[in-house]
Structures are given as structure tokens and as C-alpha cells.
Amino acid sequence: MQFENTLDFAKSLDKADDLGRFREQFIFPTQNEKEFIYLCGNSLGLQPKRTKKMLSEQLNNWGDKAVEGWFEGEEAWMYYHKGVNALMGELVGAKAAEVCAMNTLTVNLHLLMVSFYAPKGKRIKIIMEKGAFPSDQYAIESQVRFNGYNPAETIIEVAPRAGEHTLRTEDIVAEILAQGDELALVLFGGVNYFTGQLFNMAAITKTGHSVGATVGFDLAHAAGNVPLSLHDWNVDFACWCSYKYQNAGPGGIGGVFVHEKHFLNTELNRFAGWWGYHENGRFLMEKGFKPEKGADGWQVSCTQVFPLTIYFSSLQQFEEAGFMQPLREKSKKLTVYLQFIISQINKEINLEQFEIITPPHEEDRGAQLSIIAKNKPKEIFNALVAKNVLGDWREPNVIRFSPVPMYNSFEDVFRAGALLLEVTQQLLKAEH
């Protein structure tokens, strides 16, 4: 497609967008009585308008039924998570029994590592991406220490080549093969939070298994962002948050995936809790943990009804949109258009002011472009916020823009680009 840096062209793309109807289903933040151009869904998704109604219904259930709400009504809380799991499974390419909404992301990561990081003999090492989100780094370090090993000797980080910002799949594969029978676990992000790089999870999983390692993913920036096929890729486990691309509210409930091949493995360690006990016998209050079959057996605490309701409201929108494939196609067009706009800004100011460090091909990234601003980076970001463009700032000089296909438009991208050009010209002119 031949792009144009004009408002009319952006509007023509929006007119042809079948997903454009979802924009009106969200609440946009405002400043000075004017809506933001919101390009920060990679950090916190917008609130769906339906969420308040669904949450009010559950608040009413609590008021009307109190404790009987666990067992009475069409949405009895005892089984409420099952409807969520069915939609969540569709979203991540899993069977409903392989997923469960529970806890929060890093709590789930720890619980899953208890089961799937089992160092023994010389097979003790973990491979991860260099520059993973800090919470992953801290969780992995602490799990290694908990098992009695030295993180400096046990954790292998795969880094980009000199002068490059992103990882090559061939280098990830080569490092896995090099570690071989010393490798216990491969644990990567699905999409890197900083660069927006989408990793080849199928290739990573296949290679990890070829050397006898377990393979898991933190999908915080991937779930609801890119199509996933966790079951078919034979991934061992995964976890994610729901408050970024899945719009389930700040600190929203997390999700886990455990491949069904592990369901009958009684040798797996796990930190057990009452709600993970076999459902039919849960209220017998008997000693001796008997896990519920499937990912539900990793639950430790009872269903978080209100966070789950917020998540449910968002997942219903994904179902109405046809889940990930239509959203992914629009997402790729949005980032390609933004990429074009950034290139036009550099041409207009006759300076390579903005460098995109996200992979240049849309198949290799999610709904995000990370952009180095080479001059006046923080001033440019602050000026954009003052003009109602809300992206995301990362030290020392990176602005992340995340056009989310569920609610962002091509006009958003055009207008954000026009304002980026305006504030950049003003700031660079003032400097000289």
C-alpha cells in the first residue's frame, strides 16, 4: 500500500476498518476537556464501557446473596472462572482446561517455576533474554537462590549483537544448543517490553525441548497483542497479566497456561492451596492435597470475583472481534503506518532525529514502536503529553508508542505524528 501523510488518507483507512466500531466502546482519558490520543496500551489498556455495568451486577450479587453468591444463580462464583477460561483459552491458543485466571503475573511466575524449574545434577541453568522486564529478572534470580545456586553462574542471558537492539532467533537457538544438557529451563518473554520485539516462540520451544529443557514464557506484552498457539507449539507453561492489551484494569488478574501433557505428572512440585483442590471434594475439607485436573489445580486462593469480572468484560470484546487474527491484521497496518509517519518526520526536519529500535518488519513485532529521540528526548515527550498525546517514556531516551487495534485509529497515528513533528521543530529551533 502506498501511504500518505495526510488526514484524508488516515480517515480513508479508518472508514475501511471493520474493527473501528470498538473504539466507541472505550473510555478515553481527558485533559483540559479534550481526549488524549492514547498510545499507551502496552502499559495500561483503556477501560471498556461495559465494565462498569458488569461489575455493578456482581456487586449487586454480593449485596443480594452475600455468601450464597458462591453457589446460587447463573453466574455462581464457584464456577465463574470457567467462562473466563474458555475465552482466555481461545485468546492464547489453548484448551480451556489448560488455562486459569488467577493471582497476578509475578505471583503466577513464581508458582509455575516451583513446578517447572527442577534443577538436578548438572542440568541447572536457565536461559532468558538480556533486558527482560525487571520483575522477571528478580523472580528468576530469587528462584535460583531458593534452589541453592548462584545466579551469576546459573542464569544465561542472550544479548543482541554489538550495534543491534534486538535478538536474532538464530542466536537464541545457538545458545540453547550450546548449553545442551546443562539447561533446565528456557524462560523468555513473548514480546520484549522495551523494544517490542516478537520472539519466535515456536522455534524457541522446539529447540529447548530438543536438549531436554522445559520451556515457558512471560506473555505480559504478548497476550491480547499477537496470535498465540501455546498448545500447538507444545509450550510447557506460560503466564500473563491482563491489564495491558487485554484492558482488565490496573493490577488486573493474571492468567496461567499449563500444557495438558503435564496434568497427570504427579512428580511435579507445586505450592498447593485449597482452591486448587479437586473441585468435587473441595468442601469435604480433607487432608492430603488432590489437585483439580488442569491448570485449575495450580490455584491457591479462591476466585477473585471482581477482578475476574473486569477481565471477563474485556474478553467478551475479543470474542466479538473474532479474537486475535482480525486484530493482528489491523495492528500490523497501524505500526507500518506509524513507521511511515516517523520516516516522514525525519525527512521534514532533514535530520535522523528519531530511530526506531523495534524490528523493522511488522511480522517481528507487536503493537508497538520504540523510538529513540536523539535530541531533547524528555522535552519532546513532555511536550507531547501537554498536547494530549500519551505514549510511554523509558530512560534514557526512548518513547514507546503503542497503537492498539481494539481502540486506536489511523487518524490517531496521523495526528500523533503531526504533533510530534510540531513539538520537535519547536524544540530544535529553540535550541539553535
pLDDT in tens, 233-289: 999 999 999 999 999 999 999 999 999 999 999 889 999 999 999 999 998 899 999
Same domain, 25 and 74: no
Domain shared by 120 and 233, yes or no: yes
Query: How wide is the angle at C-alpha 200 spanned by C-alphas 246 and 235, nearest 5°?
Result: 75
CATH number of the domain where residue 420 is located? 3.90.1150.10
141 & 246 share domain? yes
Domain end among 259, 294, 321: 321
276 shares a domain with 239: yes
In a domain? residue 333: yes
Residue 172, Cβ neighbours under 10 Å: how many? 21
Is there a single domain that holds both residue 223 and residue 260?
yes
Per-residue pLDDT at 430 exceeds 90: no
Range of the domain at 381: 7-35+323-431
In a domain, 46, yes or no: no
DSSP 83-124: HHHHHHHHHHT--GGGEEE-S-HHHHHHHHHHHH---BTTB-
Within this chain, do residues 110 and 212 fall inside the same structural domain, yes or no?
yes
Residue 123 lies in a domain: yes
What is the mean pLDDT of the segment spanning 165-175?
98
Angle value at C-alpha 229, between 224 and 230, nearest 5 degrees: 95
Q: What pLDDT does 306 receive?
A: 97
Of 297, 321, 345, which one is at a domain's C-terminal end?
321
Same domain, residue pair 386 and 304: no
Angle at CA of residue 84, ends 65 and 223, nearest 5°: 145
The H-or-E segment that residue 428 falls in is helix 410-431
The chain-wide mean pLDDT, for the chain, equals: 96
Q: What is the CATH number of the domain that holds 107?
A: 3.40.640.10
Residue at a domain's end among 321, 344, 361: 321
| Residue 45, in any domain of the structure | no
Residue 357 identity: I
Residue 1 in any domain: the answer is no
Hey, what's the cell of 11? 480517515
Closest residue by Cα to residue 328 from 405, 410, 418 = 405
**How far does the chain reach from its first CA to its final CA, in angstroms?**
38
Number of domains in the chain: 2
pTM: predicted TM-score of the whole model, two decimal places:
0.96
Residue 402's DSSP bridge partners are 40
State whether 257 and 350 are in the same domain.
no
- Does residue 43 sit within a domain? no
Query: Who contacts 169 (Cβ-Cβ below 8 Å, separation ≥6)?
Result: 199, 200, 203, 204
Interatomic CA distance for residues 325 and 329, integer angstroms: 6
Say if strands 369-373 and 354-356 run parallel, antiparallel, or are unpaired: antiparallel
Q: Is residue 2 part of a domain?
A: no
Where residue 409 falls (left for φ over 0; alpha for ψ -120 to 50; beta otherwise) is: beta
Could you tell me if 403 and 336 lie in one domain?
A: yes
Residue 131 lies in a domain: yes
| Res 187 pLDDT > 90 | yes
- Whether 64 and 142 map to the same domain: the answer is yes
* Same domain? 99 vs 185: yes
pLDDT at 193 > cutoff 70: yes
Report the alpha-carbon distance of residue 407 to residue 19 in Å, rounded.
8
